[in-house]
Structure 1
Protein backbone atom coordinates (compact mmCIF):
# COMPACT_ATOMS: atom_id res chain seq x y z
CA UNK A 1 0.00 0.00 0.00
CA UNK A 2 1.06 3.56 -0.65
CA UNK A 3 2.67 5.48 2.24
CA UNK A 4 1.25 8.98 2.66
CA UNK A 5 1.96 11.72 5.16
CA UNK A 6 -0.15 14.73 6.06
CA UNK A 7 1.97 17.62 7.38
CA UNK A 8 4.80 15.07 7.73
CA UNK A 9 2.73 12.76 9.96
CA UNK A 10 2.02 9.24 8.63
CA UNK A 11 -1.65 8.52 7.96
CA UNK A 12 -3.67 5.38 7.30
CA UNK A 13 -5.38 5.09 3.93
CA UNK A 14 -8.62 3.14 3.67
CA UNK A 15 -9.45 1.15 0.57
CA UNK A 16 -7.42 -0.45 -2.16
CA UNK A 17 -4.52 1.06 -4.07
CA UNK A 18 -5.35 1.60 -7.75
CA UNK A 19 -2.60 0.83 -10.27
CA UNK A 20 -1.99 1.52 -13.94
CA UNK A 21 -3.72 -1.17 -15.99
CA UNK A 22 -6.51 -1.73 -13.45
CA UNK A 23 -10.18 -1.45 -14.37
CA UNK A 24 -11.21 1.83 -12.76
CA UNK A 25 -13.51 1.22 -9.79
CA UNK A 26 -16.94 2.82 -9.95
CA UNK A 27 -18.02 5.23 -7.23
CA UNK A 28 -20.90 7.51 -6.28
CA UNK A 29 -20.21 11.09 -5.23
CA UNK A 30 -22.42 14.18 -5.16
CA UNK A 31 -22.51 17.05 -7.64
CA UNK A 32 -22.94 20.59 -6.36
CA UNK A 33 -26.73 20.23 -6.79
CA UNK A 34 -26.68 17.02 -4.66
CA UNK A 35 -27.33 14.75 -7.66
CA UNK A 36 -25.30 11.52 -7.77
CA UNK A 37 -22.25 11.32 -10.05
CA UNK A 38 -20.60 8.02 -10.97
CA UNK A 39 -17.67 7.01 -13.15
CA UNK A 40 -20.18 5.53 -15.60
CA UNK A 41 -21.70 8.99 -16.14
CA UNK A 42 -18.64 9.95 -18.21
CA UNK A 43 -18.12 6.61 -19.94
CA UNK A 44 -16.69 6.99 -23.43
CA UNK A 45 -14.54 9.99 -22.52
CA UNK A 46 -11.08 10.30 -21.04
CA UNK A 47 -11.28 11.14 -17.32
CA UNK A 48 -8.79 13.06 -15.22
CA UNK A 49 -9.70 12.77 -11.57
CA UNK A 50 -7.96 15.29 -9.34
CA UNK A 51 -8.25 14.46 -5.64
CA UNK A 52 -7.76 17.18 -3.02
CA UNK A 53 -8.08 17.21 0.79
CA UNK A 54 -10.05 20.51 0.90
CA UNK A 55 -10.86 22.98 -1.87
CA UNK A 56 -10.39 25.93 0.52
CA UNK A 57 -6.65 25.44 1.06
CA UNK A 58 -3.82 26.93 -0.97
CA UNK A 59 -2.45 23.82 -2.65
CA UNK A 60 -5.91 22.40 -3.38
CA UNK A 61 -7.01 25.76 -4.79
CA UNK A 62 -3.93 25.89 -7.05
CA UNK A 63 -4.39 22.27 -8.19
CA UNK A 64 -8.03 22.83 -9.12
CA UNK A 65 -7.23 26.08 -10.94
CA UNK A 66 -4.40 24.43 -12.89
CA UNK A 67 -6.56 21.57 -14.16
CA UNK A 68 -9.38 24.05 -14.92
CA UNK A 69 -6.96 26.01 -17.15
CA UNK A 70 -5.71 22.86 -18.88
CA UNK A 71 -9.24 21.56 -19.49
CA UNK A 72 -9.79 24.04 -22.31
CA UNK A 73 -6.96 22.33 -24.24
CA UNK A 74 -8.39 18.82 -23.94
CA UNK A 75 -10.93 17.25 -26.26
CA UNK A 76 -13.42 14.60 -25.07
CA UNK A 77 -12.11 14.77 -21.50
CA UNK A 78 -14.04 14.96 -18.24
CA UNK A 79 -12.17 16.49 -15.33
CA UNK A 80 -13.47 15.84 -11.84
CA UNK A 81 -12.08 17.36 -8.66
CA UNK A 82 -13.03 15.17 -5.70
CA UNK A 83 -12.92 16.26 -2.06
CA UNK A 84 -14.97 15.72 1.08
CA UNK A 85 -16.01 19.38 1.16
CA UNK A 86 -19.77 19.85 1.21
CA UNK A 87 -21.31 20.37 -2.25
CA UNK A 88 -22.51 23.84 -1.19
CA UNK A 89 -18.97 24.90 -0.29
CA UNK A 90 -17.66 23.54 -3.59
CA UNK A 91 -20.31 25.47 -5.55
CA UNK A 92 -19.53 28.68 -3.65
CA UNK A 93 -15.78 28.26 -4.22
CA UNK A 94 -16.20 27.54 -7.96
CA UNK A 95 -18.48 30.55 -8.40
CA UNK A 96 -16.15 32.87 -6.52
CA UNK A 97 -13.14 31.68 -8.54
CA UNK A 98 -14.60 31.34 -12.05
CA UNK A 99 -14.04 27.58 -12.21
CA UNK A 100 -16.19 26.23 -15.03
CA UNK A 101 -14.15 23.59 -16.90
CA UNK A 102 -13.75 21.23 -13.94
CA UNK A 103 -16.64 19.56 -12.14
CA UNK A 104 -16.19 19.54 -8.37
CA UNK A 105 -17.82 16.59 -6.64
CA UNK A 106 -18.18 15.71 -2.98
CA UNK A 107 -17.31 12.39 -1.35
CA UNK A 108 -18.48 13.59 2.08
CA UNK A 109 -21.48 11.26 2.36
CA UNK A 110 -19.89 7.81 2.47
CA UNK A 111 -16.31 8.08 1.12
CA UNK A 112 -17.32 5.93 -1.86
CA UNK A 113 -14.56 7.36 -4.05
CA UNK A 114 -12.00 7.55 -1.27
CA UNK A 115 -12.34 3.90 -0.35
CA UNK A 116 -12.58 2.67 -3.97
CA UNK A 117 -9.35 4.49 -4.90
CA UNK A 118 -7.48 4.05 -1.61
CA UNK A 119 -7.28 7.76 -0.74
CA UNK A 120 -9.57 8.02 2.33
CA UNK A 121 -7.44 9.17 5.29
CA UNK A 122 -8.77 7.27 8.30
CA UNK A 123 -7.48 9.69 10.95
CA UNK A 124 -8.79 12.88 9.33
CA UNK A 125 -11.79 11.83 7.19
CA UNK A 126 -10.18 13.71 4.32
CA UNK A 127 -8.90 12.45 0.98
CA UNK A 128 -5.19 12.17 0.23
CA UNK A 129 -3.97 14.20 -2.72
CA UNK A 130 -3.85 12.10 -5.89
CA UNK A 131 -4.41 12.20 -9.64
CA UNK A 132 -5.88 9.43 -11.78
CA UNK A 133 -6.27 9.29 -15.57
CA UNK A 134 -8.77 6.80 -16.94
CA UNK A 135 -9.27 6.03 -20.62
CA UNK A 136 -12.59 5.81 -22.43
CA UNK A 137 -12.73 2.05 -21.71
CA UNK A 138 -12.37 2.56 -17.93
CA UNK A 139 -8.73 1.43 -17.80
CA UNK A 140 -6.47 3.38 -15.44
CA UNK A 141 -3.55 4.77 -17.45
CA UNK A 142 -1.94 7.11 -14.91
CA UNK A 143 -1.78 7.16 -11.11
CA UNK A 144 -0.07 9.52 -8.70
CA UNK A 145 -0.54 9.27 -4.96
CA UNK A 146 1.24 12.40 -3.68
CA UNK A 147 3.43 11.18 -0.81
CA UNK A 148 2.98 14.37 1.27
CA UNK A 149 -0.64 15.52 1.09
CA UNK A 150 0.27 19.20 1.38
CA UNK A 151 2.49 19.15 -1.74
CA UNK A 152 1.53 19.56 -5.40
CA UNK A 153 1.09 16.65 -7.81
CA UNK A 154 3.16 16.33 -10.97
CA UNK A 155 0.89 18.41 -13.22
CA UNK A 156 2.96 17.90 -16.37
CA UNK A 157 2.93 14.10 -16.10
CA UNK A 158 -0.85 14.03 -15.57
CA UNK A 159 -1.42 16.40 -18.51
CA UNK A 160 0.82 14.28 -20.77
CA UNK A 161 -1.13 11.16 -19.72
CA UNK A 162 -4.36 12.83 -20.86
CA UNK A 163 -2.82 14.04 -24.12
CA UNK A 164 -1.55 10.52 -24.87
CA UNK A 165 -5.17 9.31 -24.93
CA UNK A 166 -6.45 11.96 -27.34
Structure 2
Protein backbone atom coordinates (compact mmCIF):
# COMPACT_ATOMS: atom_id res chain seq x y z
CA UNK A 1 0.00 0.00 0.00
CA UNK A 2 1.20 3.53 -0.60
CA UNK A 3 0.47 6.94 0.91
CA UNK A 4 1.75 10.37 -0.02
CA UNK A 5 4.13 12.50 2.01
CA UNK A 6 3.99 16.04 0.64
CA UNK A 7 3.08 14.60 -2.76
CA UNK A 8 5.77 11.91 -2.82
CA UNK A 9 4.75 8.25 -2.71
CA UNK A 10 5.78 6.30 0.38
CA UNK A 11 5.16 2.58 0.83
CA UNK A 12 3.56 1.19 3.98
CA UNK A 13 4.19 -2.21 5.55
CA UNK A 14 0.92 -3.64 4.30
CA UNK A 15 -2.79 -3.00 4.27
CA UNK A 16 -4.99 -1.96 7.12
CA UNK A 17 -7.04 -4.73 8.72
CA UNK A 18 -10.28 -5.57 6.93
CA UNK A 19 -13.63 -4.58 8.36
CA UNK A 20 -15.08 -7.57 10.21
CA UNK A 21 -11.70 -9.07 11.16
CA UNK A 22 -10.75 -9.45 14.80
CA UNK A 23 -8.36 -6.72 15.94
CA UNK A 24 -4.80 -7.88 16.55
CA UNK A 25 -3.52 -7.65 20.08
CA UNK A 26 -0.86 -5.06 20.81
CA UNK A 27 1.58 -3.92 23.45
CA UNK A 28 1.93 -0.16 23.67
CA UNK A 29 3.48 2.05 26.32
CA UNK A 30 1.30 4.53 28.21
CA UNK A 31 2.57 7.86 29.51
CA UNK A 32 3.07 6.29 32.96
CA UNK A 33 5.38 3.71 31.28
CA UNK A 34 2.90 0.85 31.85
CA UNK A 35 2.20 -1.59 29.03
CA UNK A 36 -1.29 -1.52 27.56
CA UNK A 37 -2.84 -4.30 25.49
CA UNK A 38 -6.12 -4.68 23.65
CA UNK A 39 -7.50 -6.53 26.70
CA UNK A 40 -7.04 -3.38 28.83
CA UNK A 41 -9.82 -1.75 26.80
CA UNK A 42 -12.23 -4.70 26.74
CA UNK A 43 -15.87 -3.64 26.65
CA UNK A 44 -15.13 -0.27 25.08
CA UNK A 45 -15.51 0.82 21.50
CA UNK A 46 -12.07 2.07 20.42
CA UNK A 47 -11.12 4.81 18.02
CA UNK A 48 -7.44 4.21 17.33
CA UNK A 49 -5.69 7.08 15.61
CA UNK A 50 -2.12 6.78 14.40
CA UNK A 51 0.04 9.69 13.41
CA UNK A 52 3.63 10.78 12.84
CA UNK A 53 4.41 12.84 15.94
CA UNK A 54 2.80 15.24 18.40
CA UNK A 55 5.50 17.68 17.28
CA UNK A 56 3.93 18.30 13.87
CA UNK A 57 1.18 20.86 13.33
CA UNK A 58 -1.22 18.48 11.57
CA UNK A 59 -0.84 15.78 14.23
CA UNK A 60 -1.31 18.23 17.08
CA UNK A 61 -4.44 19.64 15.38
CA UNK A 62 -5.80 16.11 14.99
CA UNK A 63 -5.18 15.36 18.67
CA UNK A 64 -6.91 18.56 19.75
CA UNK A 65 -9.91 17.74 17.55
CA UNK A 66 -10.27 14.16 18.82
CA UNK A 67 -9.78 15.33 22.42
CA UNK A 68 -12.65 17.80 21.94
CA UNK A 69 -14.96 15.25 20.27
CA UNK A 70 -14.13 12.42 22.69
CA UNK A 71 -16.07 14.08 25.51
CA UNK A 72 -19.37 13.30 23.75
CA UNK A 73 -18.63 9.64 23.03
CA UNK A 74 -20.20 7.09 25.36
CA UNK A 75 -18.40 3.84 26.21
CA UNK A 76 -15.69 4.81 23.72
CA UNK A 77 -11.98 5.37 24.21
CA UNK A 78 -9.79 7.31 21.78
CA UNK A 79 -6.32 5.74 21.62
CA UNK A 80 -3.65 7.97 20.09
CA UNK A 81 -0.67 5.97 18.84
CA UNK A 82 2.68 7.36 17.70
CA UNK A 83 6.34 6.49 18.13
CA UNK A 84 6.89 9.59 20.28
CA UNK A 85 8.40 8.83 23.66
CA UNK A 86 5.76 8.64 26.40
CA UNK A 87 7.44 11.64 28.09
CA UNK A 88 6.92 13.72 24.95
CA UNK A 89 3.29 12.64 24.70
CA UNK A 90 2.70 13.51 28.36
CA UNK A 91 4.40 16.91 28.03
CA UNK A 92 2.34 17.75 24.93
CA UNK A 93 -0.96 16.74 26.56
CA UNK A 94 -0.14 18.71 29.71
CA UNK A 95 0.73 21.83 27.75
CA UNK A 96 -2.37 21.53 25.54
CA UNK A 97 -4.86 20.50 28.23
CA UNK A 98 -5.56 17.23 26.41
CA UNK A 99 -7.10 14.77 28.84
CA UNK A 100 -9.94 12.97 27.04
CA UNK A 101 -7.76 10.63 24.95
CA UNK A 102 -5.34 7.83 25.84
CA UNK A 103 -1.81 8.46 24.58
CA UNK A 104 0.13 5.31 23.68
CA UNK A 105 3.63 4.92 22.30
CA UNK A 106 4.91 2.31 19.84
CA UNK A 107 8.49 3.43 20.51
CA UNK A 108 9.92 0.14 21.76
CA UNK A 109 9.79 -1.81 18.50
CA UNK A 110 7.15 -0.34 16.22
CA UNK A 111 5.23 -3.62 16.29
CA UNK A 112 1.80 -1.96 16.32
CA UNK A 113 2.48 -0.10 13.08
CA UNK A 114 4.01 -3.19 11.48
CA UNK A 115 1.25 -5.57 12.58
CA UNK A 116 -1.52 -3.22 11.48
CA UNK A 117 0.11 -2.57 8.07
CA UNK A 118 0.60 1.16 8.52
CA UNK A 119 4.33 1.62 9.09
CA UNK A 120 6.03 3.74 6.43
CA UNK A 121 8.83 1.50 5.11
CA UNK A 122 10.64 4.03 2.92
CA UNK A 123 11.01 7.77 2.53
CA UNK A 124 12.32 10.33 5.00
CA UNK A 125 9.93 9.26 7.78
CA UNK A 126 10.61 5.55 7.43
CA UNK A 127 9.63 3.62 10.56
CA UNK A 128 6.84 6.01 11.60
CA UNK A 129 3.15 5.17 11.31
CA UNK A 130 1.11 6.73 8.54
CA UNK A 131 -2.01 8.69 9.49
CA UNK A 132 -4.97 6.35 10.09
CA UNK A 133 -8.17 5.82 12.00
CA UNK A 134 -9.18 2.31 13.02
CA UNK A 135 -12.42 1.73 14.89
CA UNK A 136 -12.67 -1.47 16.92
CA UNK A 137 -16.09 -2.42 18.28
CA UNK A 138 -16.80 -3.73 21.79
CA UNK A 139 -16.42 -7.32 20.58
CA UNK A 140 -12.91 -6.61 19.30
CA UNK A 141 -13.76 -6.58 15.59
CA UNK A 142 -12.60 -3.98 13.12
CA UNK A 143 -15.59 -1.77 12.37
CA UNK A 144 -14.00 0.95 10.21
CA UNK A 145 -10.64 1.98 8.79
CA UNK A 146 -9.40 5.16 7.15
CA UNK A 147 -5.89 5.60 5.80
CA UNK A 148 -5.37 9.27 5.05
CA UNK A 149 -3.95 9.37 1.49
CA UNK A 150 -1.66 12.35 2.18
CA UNK A 151 -0.09 11.99 5.63
CA UNK A 152 0.33 15.75 5.98
CA UNK A 153 -3.48 16.19 5.84
CA UNK A 154 -6.01 15.69 8.61
CA UNK A 155 -8.42 12.75 8.44
CA UNK A 156 -12.11 12.91 7.55
CA UNK A 157 -13.43 13.25 11.11
CA UNK A 158 -17.10 13.19 10.16
CA UNK A 159 -16.80 9.99 8.12
CA UNK A 160 -14.98 8.22 10.94
CA UNK A 161 -17.35 9.36 13.68
CA UNK A 162 -20.39 8.51 11.56
CA UNK A 163 -19.08 4.93 11.43
CA UNK A 164 -19.56 4.56 15.21
Same fold (TM over 0.5): yes
CA RMSD of aligned residues (A): 1.1
Residue 146 of structure 1 corresponds to: 148
Give a deviation string over 1:28-78, Cα, whole Å, max 9, x none.
110011111111110111000011111111110111111111111011111
The separation in 2 between residues aligned to 1:26 and 1:47, in whole angstroms, is: 13
**Distance apart, 1:119 and its partner CA:** 0.9
- Give TM-score, length-normalised by structure 1: 0.93
* 2:62 aligned residue: 63
Gaps of 5+ in 1: none
CA distance in 2, matches of 1:3, 1:26: 24
Aligned to 1:84: 83
TM-score by length of 2: 0.94
Match of 1:155 among 151, 154, 157: 157
* Residue deviations 1:99-144 (CA, integer Å, cap 9, x gap): 0000111101111210121111123211100001110001111100
Stretches (4+) displaced over 2 A: none
1:45-124 aligned at under 5 Å gives the runs 45-123=44-122, 124=126
Segments of structure 2 that go 5 or more residues without pairing to the other structure are none
Q: Which moved more, 1:130-139 or 1:12-21?
A: 12-21
- Kept in 2, the 8 Å contact 1:16–1:115? The answer is no
Deviations 1:70-97 (A, max 9, x none): 1110111111000011110000000000
Contact kept, 8 Å, 1:15 with 1:114, in 2: the verdict is no
